């Protein structure tokens, strides 16, 4: 098996997962800041500050995505590479079979540093994580499959 294909699979599933998580977190944080500061008439909140915070949230969201989802993303990427080594590609059923493993790793990573009285219930956190992780795995699987096609198919020749 080509080592470049395995490296590409790891990078697609890990870096792609981090970027998708950062995009989702940035959208939620930036949208919330703009909604609260620009569309409500609260005297202490200025719309210019909200715009500045919305521009900075992508950097914050990268840190948050790496902090919260590092171990599930690494586990999914390593297992995707193992699937590529065994099947010579990452089948869709295998990408969906990674979801329970990512959920288990998410549960096992623990959150001892979170204040437990402010956390949402476990069922709600698992539902949010599994829905996001399913979309992430599907997008990363599609992105990885695009790299398997020959260059003439991608170029349209």
For residue 154, is it within any domain?
A: no
Q: Which two tokens mark 90?
A: 């990452």
User: Considering its fold, how many domains does the chain have in total?
Assistant: 1
For residue 125, is it within any domain?
A: yes
For residue 46, is it within any domain?
A: yes
For residue 153, is it within any domain?
A: no
* Chain-centroid distance, C-alpha 23: 8
Whether residue 144 contacts residue 90, with contact meaning beta carbons closer than 8 Å, is answered with: yes
pTM summary value: 0.79
For residue 128, is it within any domain?
A: yes
Residue 61's domain comprises 3-110+119-147
Percent of the chain whose predicted confidence (pLDDT) is above 70: 87
For residue 157, is it within any domain?
A: no
Residues with Cβ within 8 Å of 148's Cβ and at least 6 positions away in sequence, in order, are 5, 89
- The pLDDT tens digits for 47-87 are 778 888 888 889 989 988 888 888 889 999 999 999 999 98
For residue 152, is it within any domain?
A: no
């Amino acid at each position: 098996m080509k080592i470049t294909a395995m490296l590409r699979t790891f990078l697609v599933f890990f870096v792609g997962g981090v970027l998708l998580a950062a995009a989702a977190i940035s959208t939620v944080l930036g949208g919330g800041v703009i909604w609260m500061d620009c569309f409500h008439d609260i005297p202490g909140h200025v719309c210019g500050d909200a715009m500045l915070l919305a521009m900075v949230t992508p950097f914050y969201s990268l840190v948050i995505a790496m902090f919260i989802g590092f171990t599930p993303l690494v586990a999914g990427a390593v297992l995707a590479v193992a699937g590529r080594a065994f099947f010579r590609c990452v089948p869709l059923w295998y990408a969906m079979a990674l979801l329970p493993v990512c959920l288990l790793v998410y549960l096992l990573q623990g959150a001892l540093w979170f204040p437990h009285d402010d956390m949402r219930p476990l069922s709600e956190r698992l539902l949010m994580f599994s829905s996001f992780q399913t979309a992430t795995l599907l997008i990363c699987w599609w992105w990885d499959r695009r790299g398997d096609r020959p260059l003439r198919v991608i170029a349209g020749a």
